[in-house]
C-alpha cells in the first residue's frame, strides 16, 4: 500500500540518519524515518548481561538474520559479526561514547603518505577544514564532554567541548605519569556522555555498565536520547520503528521513487519521497542497494560501475590487559580501591609515523579503560575451552583471583587499509526471516595492518609495565572492530571510481543519498561515530539548500 509522498524518506536512525532528519525537520520539510528495530525507552534499559549481550535485544540472532563472513578463499559461515544495534538510535545506543575527531592527515592520506602496495587508499573529496564546523555542531547537538589539550597530533578546533570532562578515576593520573616517563602524551578522551544536565537530559550517574548497554538516565549521547526527540519535536518528522526496508524502487527516468518496506505487522508498505536516504550501516546499506534491482539497475541501485559494496572498512584492533591485586597492592596503590568507572585517557603519539622505519606510516589511537565488568563474559574468558579449558577447583581459584583484581586495559583503533578483496555482496541462496538475500562479507587484511597494530600494542604495554602491575597479558594484535565500518559506497569526485559525490549523493541516481559510514574512503585511527554524525550535518545543510531551491 502506497503512503502519501513526503520530501525525504530516511532509512535508519543512527549517527547518519538522525542528524539529517533533525535538520530537515527544522527547515520545515516533511520527513519519514524508517527504523528496522524497536523504539526503546529509558525504562527498557536494565543492567541484565544476558538480555543485552547474549540475546537479541540489540543484535539479531544469526539463525534469524545472519551475515555471511569469510576470509578470502574460505567458505562463508553464518554470524552476527558486523551488525550494530537494531533499534532507534542504532549503534549509538550501546556505544561507549568515545568521541574523537579525525585528523587533517586522514583526508589527504594518499597524497601525504602514499598508498601502500596492495591497498587502494585514496584522498577524500573534502578536507578537514570543510568538516570542522560540523564537528562543532555534532558535539553541541549530541552533547560531548571533554577537555581539548595540546598534543603533537591535536586537530584544529574552534574551542573546547560543550561540556566539561567527566569525573575521572585516579588511575588516569598514573597513566599520565607513565606516558610522560616514556616521553609520550596521555590526553583526555572526549565522551558522548553528559557530565552535567544538558538540554533537558540528566547527567551521568557513574554506573559501571555503559558500553554494550543503553543508558537508563539518557546521559549517553545516543541519537535516541538527543537528536531523535528534537527532530520529532519539529512536528515535521515521523519515526516508524520496526519497519524493515526491502527495496528502493526507481521510476522510468531511473530516479529513486519509493521505499518498499515491511511494517511492524509484517505488512508490505510503500513510502514515496522526493529524496531517499540510506543510513543502515555500511554493510546493510550496501545490501539494500544491491538487493534493489530493476531493469535500469540489474546489478543493484546506483551500481553501474560495480563499486557498491566494495572497499569495505573496519577498524584494526589490538588489546592488552594489566592486572593489579587489590589484596596485595591496595595499601601500596590506594587508587586501586576507588570506584569511579571512567579512565578517559588516550595516546595518539603514533597516529602518523615520521618515516617508515617500523614498516608503516599510518597508525592510530590507544584508548585506556577498565575491563568491562560483565561477569559472565569474564567467567567464560577465564574458563576458556577445549584443551586450554579450566575446570573445578582450578577455575574457582582463577575466579577468586579475578574478583580480587583490578584490570586496566587498552584498545587499539588503527588504520584499516582498504583493498579490492574486502567487500560486501549478497547471497541469493541465503535469506533472512524477511525473505531477503543476506549480506555476504569477504575480508582480506592488508599485512601492514598487523605490523601497525602490533607496534601500537607494544607501545601500550610499555605504558602498562611502567605502572608496575602484577602482570600484563596480551589479548591480540590481529583483530578488527566490525561495529566500526565504512567504505562500501565510497564518495569522491570521479564517478568512475566512487559511488557517491562529495555531498554523499549517488553519481547515477541524483535523488539518492547514503549518509552512514558507507561514504568513508579511509578508516582513520579513531572510532568513527562522531565523524559520521558531523558529515550528516554537513550533508543536511547541502540538502536543505537544494530543496529550498
Domains with residue ranges and CATH for the chain: 6-44+67-548 (3.50.50.60)
> Can you list the positions of beta strands (E) in 444-507?
471-486
Number of H helices, E strands in the chain: 13, 17
User: Helix/strand/coil (H, E, C) string of 298-328?
Assistant: CCCCCCCCCCCCCCCEEEEEEEEEEEEEHHH
Query: What are the b/e assignments for 528-547, b being 16+ CB within 10 Å?
Result: bbbbbbbbbbbbbeebbeee
Report the distance separating Cα 197 and Cα 195, nearest Å: 7
Q: Identify the bridge partners of residue 34 per DSSP, sorted by sequence position.
A: 11, 240
Tell me which residue of 354, 350, 315, 456 sits closest to 113, measured CA to CA.
Answer: 354
Cα torsion for 9, 15, 18, 23, to the nearest 10°?
-100
Contact 337, 324 (CB under 8 A): no
Report the distance separating Cα 122 and Cα 130, nearest Å: 17
Tell me which residue of 250, 246, 287 sits closest to 263, measured CA to CA.
Answer: 246
Q: How many CB atoms lie within 10 A of CB 30?
A: 18
Q: Where are the alpha helices (DSSP H) in 312-403?
A: 326-329, 375-383, 392-403
Report the distance separating Cα 268 and Cα 254, nearest Å: 23
**Could you give the 3-state DSSP secondary structure of residue 206?**
coil
Q: Identify the bridge partners of residue 273 per DSSP, sorted by sequence position.
A: 6
- Print pLDDT tens along the chain (549 aa): 789 999 999 999 999 999 999 999 999 999 999 999 999 999 999 999 999 998 999 999 999 999 999 999 999 999 999 999 999 999 999 999 999 999 999 999 999 999 999 999 999 999 999 999 999 999 999 999 999 999 999 999 999 999 999 999 999 999 999 999 999 999 999 999 999 999 999 999 999 899 999 999 999 999 999 999 999 999 999 999 999 999 999 999 999 999 999 999 999 999 999 999 999 999 999 999 999 999 999 999 999 999 999 999 999 999 999 999 999 999 999 999 999 999 999 999 999 999 999 999 999 999 999 999 888 888 888 888 888 888 889 888 888 888 889 999 999 999 999 999 999 999 999 999 999 999 999 999 999 999 999 999 999 999 999 999 999 999 999 999 999 999 999 999 999 999 999 999 999 999 999 999 999 999 999 999 999 999 999 999 999 999 998
Mark residue 114 as left, alpha or beta (left: phi above 0; alpha: psi -120 to 50; beta: remaining): left
Report the distance separating Cα 101 and Cα 375, nearest Å: 32
Report the distance separating Cα 227 and Cα 235, nearest Å: 14
Contact 224, 89 (CB under 8 A): yes
Query: What are the b/e assignments for 141-159, b being 16+ CB within 10 Å?
Result: bbbbbbebeeeebebeeee
pLDDT tens readout for residues 126-165: 999 999 999 999 999 999 999 999 999 999 999 999 999 9
Q: End-to-end CA distance of the chain, in Å? A: 31
Q: How many CB atoms lie within 10 A of CB 416?
A: 31
Q: What is the DSSP letter of 154?
A: P
pTM of the model: 0.98
* Beta strands 405-414 and 364-370, pairing class: antiparallel
pLDDT tens readout for residues 467-491: 999 999 999 999 999 999 999 999 9
Compute the residue count for the chain. 549
Q: Phi/psi at 34 (nearest 5 deg)?
A: -95, 125
Report the distance separating Cα 444 and Cα 441, nearest Å: 10
Residue 211, CA distances (Å) to 314, 388, 537 in order: 19, 29, 25
Amino acid at each position: 500500500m502506497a503512503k502519501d509522498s513526503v520530501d525525504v524518506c530516511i532509512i535508519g536512525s543512527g549517527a547518519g540518519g538522525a542528524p539529517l532528519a533533525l535538520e530537515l525537520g527544522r527547515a520545515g520539510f516533511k520527513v519519514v524515518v524508517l527504523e528496522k528495530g524497536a523504539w526503546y525507552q529509558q525504562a527498557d534499559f536494565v543492567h541484565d548481561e544476558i538480555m543485552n549481550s547474549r540475546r537479541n535485544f540489540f543484535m539479531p540472532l544469526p539463525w534469524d538474520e545472519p551475515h555471511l563472513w569469510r576470509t578470502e578463499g574460505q567458505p562463508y559461515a553464518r554470524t552476527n559479526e558486523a551488525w550494530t544495534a537494531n533499534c532507534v538510535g542504532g549503534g549509538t545506543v550501546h556505544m561507549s561514547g568515545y568521541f574523537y575527531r579525525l585528523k587533517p592527515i586522514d583526508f589527504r592520506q594518499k597524497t601525504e603518505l602514499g598508498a601502500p602496495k596492495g591497498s587502494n587508499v585514496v584522498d577524500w573529496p573534502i578536507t578537514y577544514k570543510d568538516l570542522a564546523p560540523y564537528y562543532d555542531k555534532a558535539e553541541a547537538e549530541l552533547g560531548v564532554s571533554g577537555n581539548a589539550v595540546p598534543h603533537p597530533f591535536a586537530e584544529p578546533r574552534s574551542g573546547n567541548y560543550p561540556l566539561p570532562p567527566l569525573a575521572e578515576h585516579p588511575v588516569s593520573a598514573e597513566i599520565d605519569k607513565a606516558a610522560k616517563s616514556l616521553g609520550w602524551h596521555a590526553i583526555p578522551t572526549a565522551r558522548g556522555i553528559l557530565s552535567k544536565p544538558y538540554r533537558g537530559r540528566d547527567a551521568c550517574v557513574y554506573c559501571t555498565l555503559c558500553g554494550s548497554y543503553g543508558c537508563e538516565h539518557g546521559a549517553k549521547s545516543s541519537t535516541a536520547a538527543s537528536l531523535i526527540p528534537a527532530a520529532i519535536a519539529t512536528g515535521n518528522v515521523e519515526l516508524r520503528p520496526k519497519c524493515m526496508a526491502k527495496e528502493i524502487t526507481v521510476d522510468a527516468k531511473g530516479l529513486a521513487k519509493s521505499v518498499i518496506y515491511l511494517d511492524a505487522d509484517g505488512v508490505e508498505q510503500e513510502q514515496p519521497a522526493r529524496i531517499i536516504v540510506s543510513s543502515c550501516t555500511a554493510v546493510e546499506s550496501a545490501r539494500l542497494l544491491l538487493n534493489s534491482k530493476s531493469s535500469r539497475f540489474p546489478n543493484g541501485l546506483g551500481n553501474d560501475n560495480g563499486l557498491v559494496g566494495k572497499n569495505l572498512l573496519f577498524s584494526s584492533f589490538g588489546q592488552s590487559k594489566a592486572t593489579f591485586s587489590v589484596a596485595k597492592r591496595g595499601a601500596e596503590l590506594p587508587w586501586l580501591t576507588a570506584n569511579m568507572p571512567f579512565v578517559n585517557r588516550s595516546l595518539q603519539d603514533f597516529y602518523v609515523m615520521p618515516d617508515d622505519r617500523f614498516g608503516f606510516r599510518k597508525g592510530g589511537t590507544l584508548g585506556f579503560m577498565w575491563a568491562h565488568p560483565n561477569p559472565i563474559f569474564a567467567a567464560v574468558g577465564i574458563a576458556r575451552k577445549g584443551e586450554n579449558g579450566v575446570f573445578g577447583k582450578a577455575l574457582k581459584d582463577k575466579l577468586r583471583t579475578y574478583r580480587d583484581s583490578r584490570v586496566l586495559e587498552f584498545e587499539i583503533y588503527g588504520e584499516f587499509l582498504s583493498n579490492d578483496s574486502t567487500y560486501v555482496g549478497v547471497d541469493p541462496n541465503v535469506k533472512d526471516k524477511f525473505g531477503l538475500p543476506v549480506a555476504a562479507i569477504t575480508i582480506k587484511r592488508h599485512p601492514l595492518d598487523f605490523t601497525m597494530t602490533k607496534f601500537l600494542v607494544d607501545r601500550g604495554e610499555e605504558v602498562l609495565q611502567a605502572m608496575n602491575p602484577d602482570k600484563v597479558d596480551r589479548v591480540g594484535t590481529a583483530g578488527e572492530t566490525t561495529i566500526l565500518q565504512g567504505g562500501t559506497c565510497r564518495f569522491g569526485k570521479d564517478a568512475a571510481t566512487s559511488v557517491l559525490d562529495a555531498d554523499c549523493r549517488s553519481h547515477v541516481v541524483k535523488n539518492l543519498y547514503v549518509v552512514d559510514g558507507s561514504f568513508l574512503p579511509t578508516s582513520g585511527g579513531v572510532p568513527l561515530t562522531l565523524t559520521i554524525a558531523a558529515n550528516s550535518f554537513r550533508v543536511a545543510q547541502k540538502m536543505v539548500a537544494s530543496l529550498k531551491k
